[in-house]
Chains A and B, each alone.
Chain A
Amino acid sequence: MRKEYPGAQAPAVDGVDLRVRQGEMLALLGPSGCGKTTTLRMVAGLVEPTAGTITVAGRDVTQVPVHRRGMGMVFQSFALLPHLSVAGNVAFGLDMRKLPAAEKKRRVAEILDRVQLGHLAQRRIGQLSGGQQQRVALARALVVDPSVLLLDEPLSALDAKLRESLRTEIREMQLSSGTTAVFVTHDQDEALSMADRVAVMDAGRVAQIGTPQEIYENPADVFVATFIGRANLLDGVLGTSGVDVPGLGTLPVTTSRPPGPVTALLRPQAVQLLDSPSSQGFAGNVRSASYTGDQITYRIDAAGHTFEVDTVATGAPLDRGAAVRIAWEPAAVKVLPPRNAT
């Protein structure tokens, strides 16, 4: 699929080229205004692309109006029809397909059971909780056997606890129905935990596409590295023996990048806190500690830099100012293009 969409000043979607595989779930991840929702709406047919084409299973659907695309869409606000019951909403798409009444009834009952709402079929929409409304929206989109399931920030209207359980539920529904799905989110956890592949978008372009693991471990640039997870970034110059970082000396790295200015990435979990009487690594002082039960995240000043370091919590956190040493495996350092030089 390929879409271009010049907006007012800058194009909202500027040459996005994505290929979604049969049966996979692709996440479009990015900050607000990056063009992910516009991209999804173009696929749905709700926004007309200025240039480019949308192809589903070899058929060009760019000129096909929304109601003939046969896709299912779950909206951020759920967009349930308030004047219809739960069953009425779910049956809407089947009504449009002029299914015989018995067949319709069977499929509505079946899908409502799958989302555990069978007992609420006759309820009015206003009587449902947010999570239940979400499930009705999902059932309504899936019951028509869509060629593609599109989800626009499907969980952002719900509270944190519910979000996590529904993540699994949506993913399981998608896997069991084998539907190809594209979903838009600004929540990196959601994208990493639900999707087969993630397309990270920035300013109307795809910054990187890959499996959650690829994106997390080998981000293409500083934007992706900081958007997905937390990162320690060290600016330096790549030479023959490693990256020369002011204050830290030359860090050995493995990279195929040509020599020159680079930014080195070090994930907080990759940094180890050493017992003080050691000569390895770099000496530093605890600047602050944040305790979250299973884990303590320290901010440590060392060699003119501030490092974020994740440690497994074993007892009380170290005091502010405590002397520590930090070290990391050379392989943990990823070399990225220098920041501010795109």
Chain B
Amino acid sequence: MTRTWRPPVAWGLLVPGLAVLLFAYAAPMLWVLRMAFNRFIGGGGIEITFTVDSFADVFTDPYYLRVAWTTVKLGLLVSVVTVIVAYPLSLFLVRTTSRFRGLLTILAIAPMLVSSVARTYGWMVVLGNQGLLNSVLKGLGLTDTPVQLANQFSGVVIALVQIFLPYAVLAMTSGFGRLDDTLEQAAASLGAGRITRFLRVTLPLTLPGVLTGLLLVFVLSISAYVTPRLIGGGRVFVLASEIYDQATNQLNWPLAAALSLVLVVVFGVAVTVFGLLQRRVERWVSGR
């Protein structure tokens, strides 16, 4: 077997990208990995050694296990709710023949233009005890005592769903691209009503896009820091905020590093599971 000879210059083109990855990604990750095995000796002191103390802390302290579980639960809940909300919108954007389709798509993803910090503060205004939502509910006489949403898990979920909605719409509209109208028409001609058509044709064929949306929002949610921190109001603890707290407030870098690695593992598991699922589903709906 002969191989095409590639001039060295082709490999040379990879150097800038590889260099950036190496210095901005691989090196810090290795540094974090190494740091996780050092010992914290209080007051910001770190002993360079090789111990699994930090990991022992993470896996034995019920507090950290709860934080990890809260993070995963938040990721699952936010990704599922976001995809359910984004699905009809994405389907509409893909299907519409309106000449405003481009404009509508831009409108749907326009919230991305506002930083998630600003949007989080917006949600604090809306969800707070004296906030817009509670004022309206009170004004309508629906409730006397304010509905607790701020400083709550539920408030974090609501805010994150809105913040990640555009990402889900983007992922899903591109995933729905090959949806072919004639398939639904064929199903209709064979006697399938609206609901059957959706369940037996549209939904299966849009599953790859749904999975992409789920994975994207899950990954974004479990790494979200600002929104859980601000809307959680010191009552909702997730891995990202815990890492920040350990690193900057407690100066316990080994523990922060260990928690970071836990988050990386959660990422890895999610990406692998979704990747396998995605491959199967892609094969299934492509008819091969």
A and B from one assembly? yes
Listed in ascending order, the chain A residues whose CB lies under 8 Å from chain B are 44-46, 65-73, 75, 77, 79-83, 92-93, 96-97, 124-127, 140-141, 144, 150
List 5 additional A-B contacts (Cβ < 8 Å) besides A82-B285, A125-B287: A69-B189, A75-B186, A82-B183, A92-B192, A126-B286
B257-288 at interface with A (beta carbon < 8 Å): 284-288
Determine the chain A residues whose CB is within 8 A of the CB of B186 once the complex forms.
Answer: 73, 75, 79-81, 140
A75 adjacent to B191 (CB under 8 Å): no
Per-residue CB contact flags for chain B residues 180-195 toward chain A (1 = under 8 Å, else 0) read 1011011111111100
Partner of B191, one of A46, A80, A82, A97: A97
* B205 contacts A by Cβ under 8 Å: yes
Whether B201 contacts A81 by the Cβ 8 Å rule is yes
Shortest Cβ distance from A74 into chain B, in angstroms?
Answer: 9
Residues of chain A within 8 A of B205, CB atoms compared: 82-83
A81: B residues at CB distance < 8 A: 183, 186-187, 200-201
- Report A-chain residues with C-beta under 8 Å of the C-beta of B286: 82, 126
Q: Are B182 and A126 in contact (CB-based, < 8 A)?
A: no
User: B178's closest neighbor in chain A, by CB?
Assistant: A82
B201 touches A71 (CB 8 A): no
Cβ 8 A contact of A77, one of B180, B191, B192, B201: B180
B189 A96 Cβ-Cβ under 8 A: no
Query: Counting chain B CB atoms within 10 Å of each CB, which of A44, A96, A141 scores highest?
Result: A96
B188–A75 touching, CB < 8 Å: no
Within the assembled complex, what's the spacing in Å between the Cα atoms of A93 and B190? 5
How far is it, in angstroms, between the C-alpha of A73 and the C-alpha of B191 when the chains are bound? Answer: 11
**Distance of A127 Cα from B287 Cα, bound (Å):** 7
Determine if A83 and B287 form an interchain contact, defined as CB atoms under 8 angstroms apart: yes
Distance in angstroms from A151 CB to nearest chain B CB is 12
Residue among B187, B197, B201 with most chain A CB within 10 A? B187
| CB–CB A83/B191 < 8 A | no
Q: Which residues of A contact B197 (CB under 8 A)?
A: 67
Contact A67 B204 (CB under 8 A): no
Identify whether the interface residues of B are mostly helix, strand, loop, or mixed.
helix
Partner of B189, one of A67, A80, A97: A67
Tally chain B residues at the interface, Cβ within 8 Å: 23
Are A144 and B190 also in contact (CB < 8 A) when A82-B285, A96-B196, A124-B288 are?
Answer: yes
Q: How far is the CB of B85 from chain A (nearest CB, A)?
A: 25
A residues less than 8 Å from B183 (CB atoms): 79, 81-82
Q: Which residue of chain A lies nearest to B182 when distances are taken between CB atoms in the complex? A: A79
Within 8 A of A (CB), among B104-127: none
Q: How distant is A31 from chain B, measured CB to nearest CB, in Å?
A: 22
> A127 to chain B: which residues have CB within 8 Å?
287-288
Can you sample 18 A-B contacts with CB below 8 Å? A44-B189, A45-B188, A46-B189, A65-B188, A66-B188, A67-B191, A67-B192, A69-B189, A75-B185, A80-B287, A81-B187, A82-B287, A92-B200, A93-B191, A97-B191, A125-B287, A126-B286, A140-B186
Q: Which B residues touch A125, using CB under 8 A? A: 287
Q: Is the CB of A67 within 8 A of B193?
A: yes
B193 nearest CB neighbor, chain A only: A67
In the bound assembly, the distance between CA atoms of A141 and B189 in angstroms comes to: 9
Residues from chain B with Cβ under 8 Å of A140 in the complex: 186, 190
Instruction: Note all chain A residues with C-beta closer than 8 A to B196.
Output: 96
CA distance A127 to B288 in the complex (A): 6
- List which B195-243 residues lie within 8 A (CB) of chain A: 196-197, 200-201, 204-205
Contact of A96 among B182, B192, B284, B288 (CB under 8 A): B192
> Shortest 3 CB-CB distances between A and B: which pairs?
A82-B287, A96-B191, A126-B287
Q: Specify which chain B residues have a CB less than 8 angstroms from the CB of A141 in the assembled complex.
A: 189-190
Complex interface: chain A residues within 8 A of B285 (CB): 82-83
- Residue numbers in A under 8 Å from B180 (CB-CB): 77, 79
Q: Complex: how many Å from CA A96 to CA B193?
A: 9
Q: Chain B residues near A71: list those with CB within 8 A.
A: 189
Known: A79-B182, A83-B204, A96-B196. A67 touches B188 (CB 8 A): yes
Residue of B nearest to A123 (CB): B287
State whether B284 touches A83 (Cβ < 8 A). yes
Shortest Cβ distance from residue A338 to the other chain B in the assembled complex, whole angstroms? 42
